[in-house]
Amino acid sequence: MTDDLAGRIAALMPRAKADLTELVAIPSVADPRQYPPEACQQAAEWVAAAFTDAGLRDVHLAETPDGSHAVLGHRPPPPGAPTVLLYCHYDVQPPLGDDAWSSPPFELTERDGRWYGRGTADCKGNIVMHLTALRALGDALPVGIKFVAEGSEEQGTGGLEAYVRQHPDELHADALLICDTGNAAVGVPTATTSLRGLANVVVTVSTLTGNMHSGMFGGPAPDALAALIRILDSLRDADGGTRVQGLDANGRWEGVGYDEQQFRADAGVLDGVALTGSGSVADRLWARPAVTVLGIDCPPVIGSAAAVPATARARVSLRVPPGTDPGHARDALTAHLQSAAPWGAKVEVETESTGAPFSAATGGRAYTALDRAVQAVYGKPIAFLGQGGSIPLCNVLADTYTDAEIILMGVEEPGCLIHAPNESVDPGEIEHMAHVEALFLQHYAAGRA
């Protein structure tokens, strides 16, 4: 059966490429300030039609509290069989400037054996993975299926999280496949067992009633931008590690590590530039808080005037490791930013969003079935790794469905460059992970019989 299933999946790969080509061509950025909302509607309708064709029933669009649309569907289980939830999201990150791409971001382009385009990996590649697995199994689907495709995951506005709380019965299942992560590297089958939470804030610094001529007032007049720079610099120690007063910055990662040279290559670190912080790469990525200045509002270089800035602001993101409460982290970050202000500068800190970290329990039947599937496809046991990103939905699902096993997996791997220009996916990972998913459904059904 394994060889036959593998053959069916291989035969479906041209269709997978055609599907991904259509999906990538839809600029489904869930931010109406940047892209028309009709694109997200088009993507949602495409997903609904595709999964209806793949055998799911009552596939429909449901509006969530943030205004986005989730695509929902199901297929009842055979008598006595378990039900599995398949998750993905159809919205994508903005392309961050067409000039940074080697090919058009919303046009799937094959180059050096990879498929390039925004969303090829995150997360439209995972949509195609689900479709390929379902098509390969066809009418022999051994479990019940519940399906959800989120429409605003990249914006972090929490529409689906709120929808789950309001409609808890709709997504209840025995195992939840959250397919928005991936392997440690191509050919290294991986389940993500740890996610960092987040606390995002916007800090505004004010020093003057208005911008003042730098020739007449510069020197004694306090510069708001300079004050902001000092405040932001205080968030890091001498080696660049995150240091927020009141937060533990010495956590240790006990699982599989991350080779430093591999990380440098994956992250595109320039030659001669040191990594920031101390401890192992895995410690810094998965077990410790990490601060990033996401953006700064200040006068641009071109068009700037000879004036002392009266105000400046920054968007600051703090990634929070498991074991740290995100509310506590936000409060500590806020207090640190306020206390670090020089010269009595006025500081206002506005909370933008928070999300709790997540840790998965890996000792149940679903993980046993997944390991069997992985070994059949890749010839090696599954690896468990952390991830520095955040998926707040996982905590909502864990709190809502306390009896369900949650597995984070998918086609993404470091070479995909998700969220960056020139995002791509290895089509072999789509093929192999679709095979893993189909085998998992078979083994999980057999294990629950």
* Separation between Cα atoms, residue 371 and residue 367, nearest integer Å: 6
Angle of CA points 429, 434, 438, to nearest 5° = 150
Let me know: does 293 contact 229? Beta carbons within 8 Å.
Answer: no
The catalytically annotated residue of 91, 150, 266, 283 is: 91
Phi, psi of 198 (to 5 degrees): -150, 160
Q: Quick count: other Cβ atoms within 10 Å of Cβ 80?
A: 8
Nearest to 427 by CA among 109, 165, 178, 193: 109
The catalytically annotated residue of 153, 174, 283, 423 is: 153
**153 in active site:** yes
Let me know: does 360 contact 407? Beta carbons within 8 Å.
Answer: yes
**3 in active site:** no
* Separation between Cα atoms, residue 132 and residue 129, nearest integer Å: 5
Rg for the chain, CA atoms, rounded: 23
- Residues designated catalytic: 91, 153
